[in-house]
A and B are shown apart, each in its own frame.
Chain A
């Protein structure tokens, strides 16, 4: 396939949609839908100025801290629970229940317990997005190859080095699947916790605009969230490609043979 054709496939439909959007908003100014040019200028005005430091950055920092804590906690607990059968049986029904609670209902609970502050939002992010990482890690640890496990035991690999060189690599494909899911849940919970109770942040700003009927500004906020979502998915793909390079290599060899 020629490069030109590839580019056409890549940008064709998005371009068509933008042209349609432009053409449809050309005539009568619509109250609900801004024109593309209007959105771009508003986007720049709103998010490149003061709001970048007062709303955008705090949201991103909270999200970042929450996700790092989620992933660390999820992997550590997952390895612990996955390694001991009795612990797994003990916690399984409980985990099943906690995972089934829709995470947004925990926002009012954490507001009650912690109050409206940064810690509350970080806790909300952790409490909702930890389950995919935790459960996938447990599954991954459980499914470690028996032969590899016995071999490393025979060689006297125990404790930390066993986790580092056997368990973590073996479970990493599963863990990455969990991490990918938890990223998008984390973003959702960041927005929800800010919409519910906060005095700064992207979610708070969007609701503020919507209540003030500042429609182009509101759309620009929605666009910011969309861009963060896309950035997160690109970042997770890049990390996954790096961490799991060996795994995809193995898969390819298996497929070829």
Chain B
């Protein structure tokens, strides 16, 4: 059984690798045969070489740093705000009932609608990115925290109460462990959204970072560079996805069941 499982794993990996190679091959051949003009789609090898050249440049890493800084600050602030507000709102039935319509009204407003406002208020700075990142990721986390607080077992809560646990001890030992899996789901969703919005802000508003460089390469007609930067954003996205899944697994290692994801 064990060796069979390993076999399927190995063959899966081989198939996956084949898929990537086939894709790269098609990308290489299409412009070379003239199916797509090289001016629009440079062959894969050229883009990859450009990407590796970028890896050796300090300016590239500075742009990556700017993007990741906006991502990290925005994500942290929105998670902290969402956890605090979520715990407060969720633990009072008056507050959760009276805020329901407001939350349901504000949540679907697309954060890109705030772009002109960000430009007016902050101009071409990191604050513009932060406004968009925070608005977009705040709701993802807040909703999950609210779901989590609503999921607290009333029996456990009452037991803790009758054993004389104060509100803070209850929040620490009863509410927090229940909320944590939901919170991690929220953070994972928010981390992907935050990257999208950070790069969007740079692309459209022009605050410094990878997105701004992509806009520059487009207007400058540097096509292989543009493709290389797009691939770079994909790699960052993958690193964030895997990193968050890893952290989630570590943080929830104590959790008896691997909780199935709550539909966001």
Instruction: Knowing A89-B12, A89-B15, A192-B204 are in contact, say whether A102-B97 is a contact too (CB < 8 A).
Output: no
Whether a CB of chain A sits under 8 angstroms from the CB of B233 is: yes
Whether a CB of chain B sits under 8 angstroms from the CB of A105 is: yes
Q: How far is the CA of A3 from the CA of B120 in the complex (A)?
A: 43
Residue from A14, A180, A233 within 8 A of B101 (CB atoms): A14
Shortest Cβ distance from B111 into A: residue: A188
In chain A between 7 and 42, which residues have their CB closer than 8 angstroms to a CB of chain B? Answer: 9-14, 17, 32
Interface mask (B96-138 → A, CB under 8 Å = 1, otherwise 0) = 0111111011011111111111011100000000000000000
CB distance from B223 to the nearest CB of A (A): 7
Instruction: Knowing A90-B19, A93-B19, A102-B237 are in contact, say whether A233-B98 is a contact too (CB < 8 A).
Output: no
Q: B200 near A192 (CB under 8 angstroms)? A: yes
Stretch at the interface among A72-80, A159-167, A222-230: A222-230
Residue from A101, A109, A215, A221 within 8 A of B226 (CB atoms): A109
Q: How far is the CA of A12 from the CA of B214 in the complex (A)?
A: 46
What residues on B are CB-neighbors of A90 within 8 Å?
Answer: 15-16, 18-19, 22
Whether a CB of chain B sits under 8 angstroms from the CB of A232 is: yes
Q: B105 near A89 (CB under 8 angstroms)? A: no
Q: A13 near B238 (CB under 8 angstroms)? A: no
What residues on B are CB-neighbors of A187 within 8 Å?
Answer: 110
In chain A between 69 and 102, which residues have their CB closer than 8 angstroms to a CB of chain B? Answer: 86, 89-94, 96-102
Q: A195 near B19 (CB under 8 angstroms)? A: no
Q: How far is the CA of A229 from the CA of B12 in the complex (A)?
A: 40
Residue from B116, B218, B237 within 8 A of A218 (CB atoms): B116
In chain B between 1 and 26, which residues have their CB closer than 8 angstroms to a CB of chain A? Answer: 11-12, 15-20, 22-23
Stretch at the interface among A46-54, A118-126, A206-214: A206-214
Q: How far is the CA of A112 from the CA of B230 in the complex (A)?
A: 13
Q: B15 near A86 (CB under 8 angstroms)? A: yes
Whether a CB of chain B sits under 8 angstroms from the CB of A191 is: yes
Whether a CB of chain A sits under 8 angstroms from the CB of B195 is: yes
Q: B113 near A98 (CB under 8 angstroms)? A: no
Shortest Cβ distance from B195 into A: residue: A102
In chain B between 199 and 241, which residues have their CB closer than 8 angstroms to a CB of chain A? Answer: 199-200, 203-204, 211, 214-215, 217-218, 223, 226-227, 229-230, 233-238, 240-241
Whether a CB of chain B sits under 8 angstroms from the CB of A169 is: no
Whether a CB of chain B sits under 8 angstroms from the CB of A111 is: yes
What residues on B are CB-neighbors of A221 within 8 Å?
Answer: 113, 116
Q: How far is the CA of A91 from the CA of B23 in the complex (A)?
A: 10
Shortest Cβ distance from B108 into A: residue: A229
Q: B101 near A10 (CB under 8 angstroms)? A: yes
Whether a CB of chain B sits under 8 angstroms from the CB of A184 is: yes
Q: How far is the CA of A140 from the CA of B142 in the complex (A)?
A: 27
Q: A93 near B17 (CB under 8 angstroms)? A: yes
CB distance from A10 to the nearest CB of B (A): 5
What residues on A are CB-neighbors of B237 within 8 Å?
Answer: 99-102
Whether a CB of chain A sits under 8 angstroms from the CB of B55 is: no
Residue from A9, A96, A109, A215 within 8 A of B97 (CB atoms): A9
Q: A104 near B116 (CB under 8 angstroms)? A: no
Whether a CB of chain B sits under 8 angstroms from the CB of A113 is: yes
What residues on B are CB-neighbors of A104 within 8 Å?
Answer: 196, 199-200, 203-204, 211
Chain B residues with CB under 8 Å of chain A are: 11-12, 15-20, 22-23, 40-41, 97-102, 104-105, 107-117, 119-121, 192, 195-196, 199-200, 203-204, 211, 214-215, 217-218, 223, 226-227, 229-230, 233-238, 240-241, 263-264
Additional A-B contact list (10), CB under 8 Å, known A89-B12, A102-B233? A9-B97, A13-B101, A14-B102, A94-B20, A94-B23, A104-B203, A108-B203, A108-B217, A112-B218, A229-B113
